[in-house]
Structure 1
Amino acid sequence: MKRKNMVSLFAYLIIMTSCGGNDTPSDPDGRGIIPNKGVIELKDNQRGLSNPGMGWNQMFYTFDDVPVLTGNDKSDNLNWIPCDILSFRVSWAKMEPKEGQYNWKVIDNAANYWLSEGKRLAFKFYTNFLWDNPDRQATPLWLKDAGAKGHYLDGNNDPSDDSWMADYGDPILLEKLEKFYKAVAAHYSTDKIEFIELGSIGRVGEGNSYQIGVEPTETELKVHINLLRKCFPKTQLFINDDHGNAACLYAKTLGYGVDDHSIGVDASVNPPGRAYNKSVIDKFHDGKSIIGLEDDTWLLPDDWYLKQMTEAHANYCRIHTSPSNLRKADVRKIVNQMNLKMGYRIQFPRISVPTFIQRGQSLKISYSVRNAGVGYCQVTCYPHFLLKDFNGKEVSSVTDVGFDHQDLMSGSDNATLNRNVSLTIPANTAAGNYTLFISMVDETGKPLIKLPYDGDDGNKQYKLTQISIK
């Protein structure tokens, strides 16, 4: 139910200050435009934003103990880029070398630094690596000792160096895997996990049989998809496009997003390289699904990768290289452009209000809102107008609870929503000047989303205007 309130406005406005992603300092003034007859036109400050449900994610391990980051990059918190997510791809065998004994330090030794700064984690726990590499055994061998059925993977006709895998549908595998997932869920609280990728099928969890040769049945795929959802009912999950069209669409019905790894691979033999899988990912372009892409290890973002991100409507892009490479002069421009388009970018282009108000009157605020990003906003949030007195104390506020974040389609859809709310000024409010702020709040009223404007009060609340109450 919407609350009705009354207001008048007389104000300063936020103007563009600096280019996103570069190191140019902001305009020292920051504000200074007086609204024309109660119409405020907000100007995007062109800075990259870190928000939930979107952004870069930095790969830490590519395989178990093989770190992607090098040198000083291991202690870089990446605050210079919209990256709040540290991503781990590690094998189940590494995480649970003995049944019920968990090797959390594999993740925690690296993750605690990020978590201490309020950042989040992403996981993929895989069960297969290669045919002939016992040093990278991915399925815990204690499963075999517990009676799980499976077979050795032999690619060179030499059984002395084979790895072993459990059959995808083996009941002992599924029972023990469920216990492992539940242990992960107990060790890492929901607010620390940004997303988890399905990793129990295929080579390093990517869903394909490359270098393994074992294909799952449709039933086995569904069982693994269901199991991960069962153990993480409120977590954003992903499935890789290599699992195939049927599996991806089934996972979509359970709230999975989709991702495509290794964008740009084979660029040297087939320039400009491998594009995202349109046949699968385009089916997730519904304003309700999350999409992610990964630039492969030795590649750097370029115009072509930016095009892939845009056309795929990607909310996430994975950094699969040491992050200082993204500071290089030849990629910095592209990175800056990606910072401003990746995921969602909520703008309020126009806010219309009277220039003053009498106590006891009711005031309607008309505003427009749009998403300038290429992805979709899947975070439940609502526009919130807040009036504060000279001491920063709340006088009145209103939340547009009729707003549906899923109506904010991507910038390429050119969808601008026009909304109206009413704000009530208590009858006993003293006459004088007040300040109006705007924010995007969660269901509890807590500011949640960073907006592309200056004037933030430090709590994701953005100064719009001064209000004169008569």
Structure 2
Amino acid sequence: MRSLQSSKRRPIGEIAAALAVAFIASSFVGFAQEVTTVVRPVETHEILINPGMGIQTFQRYNGDSLNPGVTWSEEGPVGTLKTEEKKPDFPGSSVAYVRWHWATLEPVQGKVRWEIIDLALAEARRHGQRLAIRLMPYDPKHPLPKWYRESGARRANSNDGNIWEPDFSDPLYFKDWSALINEAGRRYDGHPDLESVDISTVGYWGEGWSSYMPEFPVQKKLIDIYFKAFHKTQLLMNFDEPEALVYGTSHGAGWRFDCLGDMKEHEPEMLDQYPEEIAETGIQDVWRSAPVSMETCGVPESWLRNGWDAHYILSEALRWHVSTINVKSSAIPQLWGKEFEDLERRMGYRFVLRRGEWRTQARAGEALHLKTWWVNEGVAPVYRPFVLAFRLSSPNQSRVIRTDEDVRKWIPGDAVFEDPVFVPSDLPAGEYQISVALLDPVTLSPAIQLAIEGRGRDGWYSLGKIRVSDGY
């Protein structure tokens, strides 16, 4: 064994020079491995039709004729509607909102015409929409089912010429109404084409108000029917009774009100009831986890005839973080075209990818070190768990990488997704295109239009290139 004393020593200067060369070489290798591609997609300002948001169709579907003048029907479709040959001048819609009276659905006790709802779900899908529904007990023109009125159930009002109104605290009302809702939940809860269900309880249209209101424990019991029947499908709580509104939204329901635009001279809801009730009930932040939906008071044409300020009305809707609005499939006055287009661009969510960055070269099995910066330019998040995904594709290969990002947390403002996102270990070496998409959680197909250019026919957005080499 050679001793230390007999070993040949290197000059200190030579050692220092060797270390410097080694440091430079390792730094160069590290630098080469960490070269990144940065892209800044071009934003688009076009109106986007995206799931669960926008202007709804009412009692009809995309392409169907509009209601004339300031009229509309409360009778939901029971068959296939005839689509107009010439597309009406109306916004494209991702949600068809329909509602039916109890007597229409169950004309004979226990024999519910479920085929009506089945057909509506199929029609919504055929027209590129999802279905939002309400089952209504009665209204001023459509009475409760004849079999119910003759069942011995208690009547709340006298025979005064008004429509027969039930005693909502009557056990028969709870029994028969809950039977309908429970079976609806069993059949349709979580249906891929069902967007939402209104919580419908007492009074005209089931909106939760009446001259014969029961005590709140009775209201609560009627509301609870829905929470027991629908665990997967989004529920919406009507706005009319504050205590019921607080209860419903505190249990996961979104909220909706039925008279957006009311600017009448005496007790205007837009100036009095709505802002006050939102504040007093403390529902200002419900939009962060559940949607806000609104329905016009009359139709936009009636706003114009009344001299109401559309800019103010729509600005308030946006301030209240609206995702969907029902204008009752009525024409939008040409004078307000710009206001409604601005509304469509801002209501709901609007995702802009501002910046993307990834390693320019990577081995199969290695991390891309992918980082993306997003901005939600809308007024609300998305409420379904869409899947943020990236795709590596070449003429001969295509691999989709799904992430665990919860895009429901992308509230208005900035969001950053930063994750290793590994290159598939069996991906052959070569040059690949990186694309991004938000996938439907059921079909896993691209479902959301981003507010950027570069969308392909398949719904994926092309971002740039990456070079993949063989793995270790």
Q: State the TM-score, normalizing by the size of structure 1.
A: 0.76
Partner Cα separation in structure 1 for residue 55 and residue 139 of structure 2: 26
Specify whether residues 127 and 425 from structure 1 end up closer, same or farther in structure 2 by C-alpha distance, changes over 3 A only: closer
Seq. identity, %: 21
Partner Cα separation in structure 1 for residue 403 and residue 297 of structure 2: 42
Does the CA contact (< 8 Å) of 2:102 and 2:135 recur in 1? yes
Q: 1:136 aligns with which of 121, 128, 142?
A: 142
Q: Which amino acid is 1:278 matched to? A: P
Partner of 2:448: 449
The one-character-per-residue Cα deviations of 1:413-440 (angstroms, maximum 9, x if unpaired) are: x3x1223122333566444321111112
Aligned positions of 1:379-394 closer than 5 A: 379-391=384-396, 393-394=397-398
How much has 1:83 moved relative to structure 2? 1.1
Partner of 1:98: 108
- Over aligned residues, Cα RMSD in angstroms? 3.3
How much has 1:360 moved relative to structure 2? 6.4
Gaps of 5+ in 2: 1-34, 61-71, 304-309
Partner Cα separation in structure 2 for residue 431 and residue 105 of structure 1: 54
Q: Which amino acid is 2:239 matched to? A: D
Partner Cα separation in structure 2 for residue 222 and residue 50 of structure 1: 36
**Partner of 1:191: helix, strand, or coil?**
coil
Specify whether residues 316 and 428 from structure 1 end up closer, same or farther in structure 2 by C-alpha distance, changes over 3 A only: closer
Partner Cα separation in structure 2 for residue 65 and residue 455 of structure 1: 43
How much has 1:309 moved relative to structure 2? 1.8
Partner of 1:25: none
Q: 1:348 aligns with which of 353, 365, 374?
A: 353
1:304 aligns with 2:312: yes
Partner Cα separation in structure 1 for residue 346 and residue 126 of structure 2: 28
Bigger Rg, structure 1 or 2: 2
Q: Which amino acid is 1:51 matched to? A: N
Partner Cα separation in structure 2 for residue 331 and residue 255 of structure 1: 35
**Partner of 2:326: helix, strand, or coil?**
strand
Partner Cα separation in structure 2 for residue 318 and residue 274 of structure 1: 20
Does the CA contact (< 8 Å) of 1:381 and 1:442 recur in 2? yes
**Partner of 1:166: helix, strand, or coil?**
coil
Specify whether residues 108 and 441 from structure 1 end up closer, same or farther in structure 2 by C-alpha distance, changes over 3 A only: closer
Partner of 1:253: 250
**Partner of 2:463: helix, strand, or coil?**
strand
Specify whether residues 348 and 275 from structure 1 end up closer, same or farther in structure 2 by C-alpha distance, changes over 3 A only: farther
**Partner of 2:300: helix, strand, or coil?**
coil
Aligned positions of 1:315-326 closer than 5 A: 315-322=323-330, 325-326=331-332
1:170 aligns with 2:170: yes
**Partner of 2:361: helix, strand, or coil?**
coil
Q: Which amino acid is 1:176 matched to? A: D
Partner Cα separation in structure 1 for residue 318 and residue 199 of structure 2: 24
How much has 1:198 moved relative to structure 2? 2.0
Partner of 1:86: 96
Q: Which amino acid is 1:89 matched to? A: R
Does the CA contact (< 8 Å) of 2:260 and 2:297 recur in 1? yes
**Partner of 1:353: helix, strand, or coil?**
strand
Partner Cα separation in structure 2 for residue 426 and residue 58 of structure 1: 43
1:422 aligns with 2:420: yes
**Partner of 1:83: helix, strand, or coil?**
coil
Aligned positions of 1:35-434 closer than 5 A: 38-60=37-59, 64-65=74-75, 81-103=91-113, 112-130=122-140, 136-137=142-143, 139-153=144-158, 159=160, 161-185=161-185, 188=188, 190-209=191-210, 213-244=211-242, 246-267=243-264, 274=271, 277-281=274-278, 283-286=283-286, 287-300=288-301, 302-322=310-330, 325-326=331-332, 328-358=333-363, 361-391=366-396, 393-395=397-399, 397-401=400-404, 403-410=405-412, 414=413, 416-426=414-424, 429-434=427-432
The one-character-per-residue Cα deviations of 1:34-87 (angstroms, maximum 9, x if unpaired) are: xx96221123322233333322222228554489xxx98878887963412222
Does the CA contact (< 8 Å) of 2:260 and 2:296 recur in 1? yes
Q: Which amino acid is 2:258 matched to? A: H
How much has 1:147 moved relative to structure 2? 2.9
1:440 aligns with 2:438: yes
Aligned positions of 1:19-38 closer than 5 A: 38=37
Partner Cα separation in structure 1 for residue 468 and residue 360 of structure 2: 10
Partner Cα separation in structure 1 for residue 431 and residue 130 of structure 2: 40
**Partner of 2:294: helix, strand, or coil?**
strand
The one-character-per-residue Cα deviations of 1:363-395 (angstroms, maximum 9, x if unpaired) are: 30111123211122211134222111224x324
Partner Cα separation in structure 2 for residue 74 and residue 252 of structure 1: 39
Partner Cα separation in structure 2 for residue 379 and residue 109 of structure 1: 24
Partner Cα separation in structure 2 for residue 235 and residue 332 of structure 1: 33
How much has 1:361 moved relative to structure 2? 4.9
Partner Cα separation in structure 1 for residue 76 and residue 387 of structure 2: 42
**Partner of 1:223: helix, strand, or coil?**
helix
Q: Which amino acid is 1:390 matched to? A: P
Q: Which amino acid is 2:393 matched to? A: K
How much has 1:449 moved relative to structure 2? 2.7
Q: State the TM-score, normalizing by the size of structure 2.
A: 0.76
Partner Cα separation in structure 2 for residue 170 and residue 353 of structure 1: 65
How much has 1:251 moved relative to structure 2? 0.7
Partner of 1:6: none
Does the CA contact (< 8 Å) of 1:64 and 1:94 recur in 2? no
Partner Cα separation in structure 2 for residue 360 and residue 232 of structure 1: 42
Does the CA contact (< 8 Å) of 2:208 and 2:238 recur in 1? yes
How much has 1:295 moved relative to structure 2? 1.7
How much has 1:175 moved relative to structure 2? 1.7
**Partner of 1:38: helix, strand, or coil?**
strand
Does the CA contact (< 8 Å) of 1:63 and 1:90 recur in 2? no
How much has 1:270 moved relative to structure 2? 7.5
Does the CA contact (< 8 Å) of 1:86 and 1:111 recur in 2? no
Gaps of 5+ in 1: 1-35
**Partner of 2:290: helix, strand, or coil?**
coil
**Partner of 1:239: helix, strand, or coil?**
strand
